[in-house]
Copies of this chain bind each other. A is one copy, B any other.
Amino acid sequence: MNNIYHLTRKQQQLLDFIIENQDRFPQPPTLDELCFAMGLKSRGSLHKHIQELINAGYIEALNRKQRGVRLTAQYLEQNVSLAEPEQQGTPFVGAIAAGTPIEALENICYMNVPDEIKTDKPCYILQVKGDSMIDDGIFEGDWVIIEQQSHARNGQIVVALIDKTDATLKYIEQYPHETVLVPANKNMSPMRFHPQQVEIQGVLVGQMRSYK
């Protein structure tokens, strides 16, 4: 599978198509099916491309076997290794303040957050406005890393959306008949809501601050 083998446009296009649609076919497609799917009228034309992809090592030789168009094992390996380092980082989506909805950034940017302060699951970053969590060492301007999830355990710090309008970062205590959001600020009081009023948008997993 040396890359001295340069694919032509159509060959690349065909390869992309096969890769993207490999799940769509319960079994590997016939040439005719592939033709139809790609808008070609002649198997012969397609076959030439297939042959080149075989030579290039992307798909297995089909040797007259029917429904033989399948990607090479080697290629699949190579492909996952290529696909992995696509991590562009954790999205920094906006600012969160007590009492107002999340201010979304017009253009999301991505930060390279170390694994130590995030999780394997989808995370996003918010910048903190206000000082409702100041006693816990979360200050105005800090970034918080939030794991996206819709439930939480009591005592966790969560991003909570209240009445579908106001987002806030608070400790959460959930009881059958009420949900309490507790700030970490001795000048502020816990807020009590009906459980239906509060929607959890994520759980705090990390925090960071710049002193520059």
Q: Give A residues with C-beta under 8 Å from B.
A: 6, 8-9, 12-13, 26-27, 65-68, 89, 111-117, 119, 134, 137-139, 142-143, 157, 204-212
Contacts and interface: CB of A to CB of B under 8 A. Distances in A.
Contact of A206 (B205, B206, B211): B211
A65 B7 CA distance: 11
B116 A8 contact: no
21 contacts: A8-B66, A9-B27, A9-B66, A12-B26, A111-B115, A111-B116, A112-B115, A113-B114, A114-B208, A116-B143, A117-B208, A117-B209, A119-B212, A137-B137, A137-B142, A205-B212, A206-B208, A206-B211, A207-B208, A207-B209, A207-B211
Max count, chain B CB within 10 A of own CB: residue among A114, A142, A157, A204: A114
Contacts of A212: 117, 119, 205-206
A114 to B, nearest CB: 4
Nearest to A60: B6
Nearest to A137: B137
Given A66-B8, A112-B114, A116-B111, A137 B27 contact: no
Contact of A211 (B115, B139, B143, B204): B204
Max count, chain B CB within 10 A of own CB: residue among A13, A116, A204, A206: A116
A200 B65 CA distance: 57
B137 A209 contact: yes
Given A205-B210, A207-B208, 14 more contacts: A8-B67, A9-B68, A12-B26, A111-B116, A112-B112, A113-B114, A137-B139, A157-B211, A204-B211, A205-B211, A205-B212, A206-B209, A206-B211, A207-B209
A142 B113 CA distance: 15
Contacts of A9: 27, 66-68
A171 B123 CA distance: 33
Max count, chain B CB within 10 A of own CB: residue among A9, A65, A211: A211
A45 to B, nearest CB: 17
